[in-house]
Chains A and B, each alone.
Chain A
Amino acid sequence: MEQPALLEMRGISKEFPGVKALDNVNLTVRAGTVHALMGENGAGKSTLMKCLFGIYNKDGGTITLDGQEINFKSSKEALENGVAMVHQELNQALTRTVKDNLWLGRYPKVGGFVVSERIMDQKTREIFDTLEVNVNPKAIMSTLPVSQRQMVEIAKAVSYDAKIVVFDEPTSSLTEAEVEHLFRIINMLKAKGCGIIYISHKMEEILRISDDVTIMRDGQWVATRPASELTMEEIIKLMVGRELTNRFPEKTNEPGDVILDVQHMSGKYTRLKEATFQLRKGEVLGIAGLDGSGRTEVLENLFGVMTRGGGTITLHGREIQNRTPQESIKNGFALLTEERRATGIFGIRDIRENTVISNLKNYLMGGICLNDKKMKEDTDWAIQAMHIKTPSQKTQIRSLSGGNQQKVIIGRWLLTKPEVLLLDEPTRGIDVGAKYEIYQLINDLAKEGKGVIMVSSEMPELLGVCDRILVMSGGQVAGEVDAKNTSQEEILTLAAKYV
């Protein structure tokens, strides 16, 4: 039986300065089905949803909901007309209570402007009971663990009684049991005749719960097929646009002796507990784990961004402290941070400044004046060596693509002549081609004898690029696997060990 189309998006286009984010994209969602939307980071999935939800104004195309053409100008309009969304980033008022967040924007009123706490309590209980969500409605949001906050967000989206519910990567911070819980909720919505759009990177999830799958690549529609006719390999092929075999460059590095020995490293204020591991010369060590498992903490404790509570770090047999980033840089460490835009680039400054910023003392003449010529030469070197595509050194870094920005930052760190590179999600938000180049760079660095520690939430990437993988779970090292002889299943099992 063929269910009727509930939502039809036809020929949607959206352009940002310099980027064609969406190019003639189609999406048809049938009532009572789950439609998975897949694609690499930057493929345009979230942008498409933001056009539907009224956060962005689309430049072209039509959207039809229940036979009527719609064009929402704000989230408020979308919500009022039966489109709700669980956003990728948790957007919550953390200083307020759970129920205040749940009913934000539509508080039950008496007398026109007075909020009725009684009705709010009652409706909160009803929705939490129906969905079997076990969260205290009076708790302040910031005191809850991320997974519970995510469940509140899901309950909120469901509570709008919407015809279309969009889930944008809802499971990234959920445990396995909570994912099952979410699927029960989704099945409930399906039974009610809702149309569900489900965005996720997790293939097993997609194949399990979706009816249709639409795949996007680089802002374009690639294919829409019934999920039952698709396999994981086919989806990847469609997403990447080429065979899986050449997603990663050939590994040519050869790990040597141990250079870095970390014993019982714990965070003073963070959940990192007793992490012990070694890194070899010329080795790429991956760190896997769920969000909040302590992956980033390993790098940031090592680099002195976070305060270490205990443990020792030994580099070349000599114990070092790495209390602050300055000290760590002197000791030959470099850290590529997770949030490129927030903590990596200096957006409005030019390529040259972004390249030399960690290495300024090397350009001093007489200890006072910076040597422009030398800075220019080094920046030229970085642009060539990293294959950075930029009109000039004087271009603002924010006008480059994510991949080129990332290459500038890697170039910045290479100028400090590091021995140990700490890379936190080095390919996040980067298009497929640029990813390959970053992988090649990582491989080359290891080949030159540098030690690389790389955190990633994309499992295939870890398997394709690393020599060994450390799996974190609940702030602890849950295990260590050889990248050549392991599987996604083994890593996932380890990642759930201390959750």
Chain B
Amino acid sequence: MSNESKALAAKSKSLDAKQVGNVLLNNALIIIMLLVAAYVAITQPSFLSPRSLVNLLSLTAAYLPVALGIGGCIVLTGTDLSAGRAVGITACVSASLLQASDAANKMWPNIGTLPIPVVILISVGLGALIGAFNGFFVAKFKLHPFIVTLATQLILYTTLLLYVQQGNNKGMAISSLAPNYRNFVVGNPPLLNFGKIQIPNYVIYALLLTALMWFIWNKTTFGKNMFALGANEEAARVSGVNVLKTTIMVFALAGAMYGWAGFVESARIASNTANTGVNYELDAIAACVIGGVSFVGGIGKISGIVIGVLMLRLIFVALPLVGMDQNLQYLIKGGIILFACALDMRKYLVKK
């Protein structure tokens, strides 16, 4: 009897060890990244200075909206390669509509400076329209999102190149933005102004956006339909889910996020060209994958995406501090994406 219970205990112990090992392996990437950050923090204490931490927070907030948007496309087993260009075009549109009235070479001299809420609506609406265009082709013609958004990316780039030629701009960078616009985005809310430590407004906006997206993903019919669709399209269809509408909405929501990101990016960078936003989708996809949004479909959490964006920024803020060659960053990004996806697939692979 005691022998049996011993054997049972040993068995449960080995099972625990296996489970612990699995948890470690499944989170290996985040653990490694935290170790790197810890190493940098020890060798370079300035990494943990308030200034550096606020910088990290701000960068995370800047990159978060695109990742929150693209996450939905990945939940549908898709992707969105047009995100970066969508950010670019909405950034340039926002900037051109909110140039200071006395700016030299003002792109549209006759409109003055539009009210900020109107420009937000235009930017987010334009983004949503681009997303809906993607979603329509994906859902209606059963095209792979990779192809649709690759095409959209190219179409948007030409549109963007043509747009910056318009008015008085003649292809120059769109700058001299209205002070109230700059202030609306990168200014500091009075309550979060601790002397030298100043947290910009767009961090607050990112927090609100995260809460909104969490609500949409977890509490609305649309969110649940999105996950069901990503997990099993046929099941969703025979259960009466409108697949066309849901797909278009997921892409449109993603587009709206890019629109918001463009509005913020424009003021954050202050000088916008046709190259604004280029390749943002790659960072966003990487962040989602690190955060456990799976290409298998139907799996992902908003909290995971936030962690993913934070981790990716952590690495890129920390590594230069210990003298990492800037050229290595793409290698590191590539490695992270590969590693993250391999770890992810490992979870869902059914061993035979």
Contact = CB atoms under 8 A, between A and B. Distances in A.
A85 B350 CA distance: 29
B44 to A, nearest CB: 41
30 contacts: A75-B237, A75-B239, A76-B241, A79-B239, A85-B238, A91-B232, A91-B239, A92-B232, A92-B235, A93-B231, A93-B298, A94-B231, A94-B298, A95-B230, A95-B299, A104-B228, A104-B236, A105-B239, A105-B240, A105-B241, A107-B221, A109-B221, A113-B220, A115-B219, A115-B221, A269-B350, A269-B351, A269-B352, A270-B352, A307-B351
A374 B208 CA distance: 69
Interface in B314-349: none
B181 interface: no
Interface string A71-95: 0001110011000010100011111
Contact of B228 (A87, A100, A109): A100
Given A104-B235, A105-B239, A115-B219, A93 B228 contact: yes
B242 to A, nearest CB: 7
B227 interface: yes
A106 B239 CA distance: 8
> Across chains A and B, which 5 residue pairs bring their CB atoms closest together, nearest first?
A105-B240, A76-B240, A93-B231, A105-B239, A269-B351
Contacts of A306: 352
A300 interface: yes
A212 B351 CA distance: 45
Given A92-B235, A104-B236, A307-B351, A76 B228 contact: no
Contacts of A87: 238
A93 B352 contact: no
A100 B241 CA distance: 13
Nearest to B296: A95
Interface of B: 219-225, 227-228, 230-232, 234-242, 296-299, 350-352
Given A114-B219, A115-B221, A269-B352, A106 B298 contact: no
Contacts of B234: 91
A100 B242 contact: no
B242 A307 contact: no
Contacts of B221: 107, 109, 113-115
Contacts of A53: 238
A179 interface: no
Interface in A438-491: none
Given A91-B232, A107-B224, 10 more contacts: A75-B240, A91-B238, A93-B227, A93-B232, A93-B235, A100-B224, A105-B241, A114-B220, A115-B221, A269-B350
A93 B230 CA distance: 8
Contact of A104 (B223, B241, B297): B241
B231 A113 contact: no
A85 to B, nearest CB: 8
Given A105-B239, A113-B222, A114-B220, A96 B352 contact: no
Given A100-B224, A115-B220, A115-B224, A105 B236 contact: yes
A104 B224 contact: yes
Interface in A307-332: 307
Contacts of A55: 238
Nearest to A94: B231
Nearest to B215: A114
B235 A91 contact: yes
A79 B219 contact: no
A400 interface: no
A94 B240 contact: no
Interface of A is mostly: loop
Interface in A43-73: 53, 55
A236 interface: no
A96 B228 contact: yes
A79 B235 CA distance: 14
Contacts of B236: 93, 104-105
A104 B230 CA distance: 13
A104 B234 CA distance: 12
A104 B352 contact: no
A61 B188 CA distance: 70
Contacts of A156: 239
A266 to B, nearest CB: 13
Nearest to B297: A95
Nearest to B352: A306
Contact of B242 (A76, A107, A300, A305): A76
B240 A96 contact: no
Given A93-B227, A95-B231, A96-B298, A106 B352 contact: no
A270 B227 CA distance: 29
A43 B328 CA distance: 63
A79 B239 CA distance: 8
Contacts of A74: 237, 240
Contacts of B230: 95
B72 to A, nearest CB: 15
A82 B236 CA distance: 18
Contacts of B224: 96, 100, 104, 107, 115
Interface string A91-122: 11111100011001111010001110000000
Contacts of B297: 95
A95 B219 contact: no
Nearest to B241: A105
Interface in A260-281: 267-270
Contacts of B299: 95
Contacts of B240: 74-76, 79-80, 104-106
A96 B225 CA distance: 11
A146 to B, nearest CB: 14
A85 B225 CA distance: 20
Contacts of A101: 228, 235
- A53, A101, A115 interface centre (most CB from chain B within 10 Å): A115
A267 B225 CA distance: 37
B293 to A, nearest CB: 12
A285 to B, nearest CB: 23
Contacts of A305: 352
Contacts of A79: 239-240
A269 B351 CA distance: 6
Contacts of B227: 93, 95-96, 100
Contacts of B223: 115
Q: Please indicate which of the listed interface residues B232, B237, B238, B352 has the most CB atoms of chain A within 10 Å of its own CB.
A: B238
Contacts of A91: 232, 234-235, 238-239
A109 B82 CA distance: 34
Contacts of A94: 231-232, 298
B27 to A, nearest CB: 19
Contacts of A107: 221, 224
